[in-house]
Chain A
Amino acid sequence: QQQVKQSPQSLIVQKGGISIINCAYENTAFDYFPWYQQFPGKGPALLIAIRPDVSEKKEGRFTISFNKSAKQFSLHIMDSQPGDSATYFCAASGVNRDDKIIFGKGTRLHILP
């Protein structure tokens, strides 16, 4: 029940295309859903996050879509660029200080130039 399932494991997209990464969770107590971006040799960096009171959040070319009833959320990268090539992790947590963040297993994204 604590798992966050992420798919696909790897994704190849043409430059200018839309990259879509999906995640699903089971624990209805989760109340905060961040996405992290990680470049090789670096630590994960917080990219964008959403809470379930909204169905969509957009920051530049990055959009989170959230479906509370289906317990699913996804990251969309519009106009994907080679610089977006990285590993992306979805995650879920409660909002209390002692709540742990549960991470998906990651998606390795490669944007073809």
Chain B
Amino acid sequence: DAGITQSPRHKVTETGTPVTLRCHQTENHRYMYWYRQDPGHGLRLIHYSYGVKDTDKGEVSDGYSVSRSKTEDFLLTLESATSSQTSVYFCAISEVAGFVYEQYFGPGTRLTVT
């Protein structure tokens, strides 16, 4: 898992509550990503980070914010959770491999918004 952990692994929350998911990596990777995975949609990029305090939006960023105050931690926050944000969330890092940048994923967080 390229030294990536995610917490919590499972969470059930109510509509309207804030939720923060944590991604932690131990190998000093500069680039980190948050994806969501939904049946029929594959993996979609929410936000990514290219360094401490440097973040940018992905394809499906509405309703999500991120923060990266340390190289090893990338936090994803749902400001006010909605049922449409029920999903499995994956964190990833990228590392150089020859002429390309390979992405490696964490184990995922299953979030249910009731």
A contact residues vs B (CB 8 Å cutoff): 6, 9, 32, 34, 36, 41-46, 49, 51, 89, 93, 95, 97-101, 103-106
Contact = CB atoms under 8 A, between A and B. Distances in A.
A108 to B, nearest CB: 10
Contact of B100 (A9, A32, A44, A103): A32
Contact of B104 (A46, A100, A106): A46
A103 to B, nearest CB: 4
B107 A103 contact: no
A46 B102 contact: yes
Given A43-B90, A97-B31, A105 B103 contact: no
A43 B101 contact: no
A104 B42 contact: yes
B11 to A, nearest CB: 15
Contact of B103 (A41, A101, A104, A106): A101
Contacts of B99: 51, 95
A100 B31 contact: no
Q: Give the dominant DSSP class at B's interface.
A: strand
Q: Give the dominant DSSP class at A's interface.
A: loop
B92 to A, nearest CB: 8
A46 B104 CA distance: 7
The listed residue with most B CB atoms (<10 A of its CB), out of A34, A42, A49, A101, is: A101
B1 A43 contact: yes
A91 to B, nearest CB: 8
11 contacts: A43-B4, A43-B90, A43-B105, A43-B106, A43-B107, A44-B43, A46-B104, A93-B100, A95-B100, A100-B48, A101-B45
Interface in B84-114: 90, 92, 94, 99-108
Contacts of B94: 97
Nearest to B59: A100
Contacts of A95: 99-101
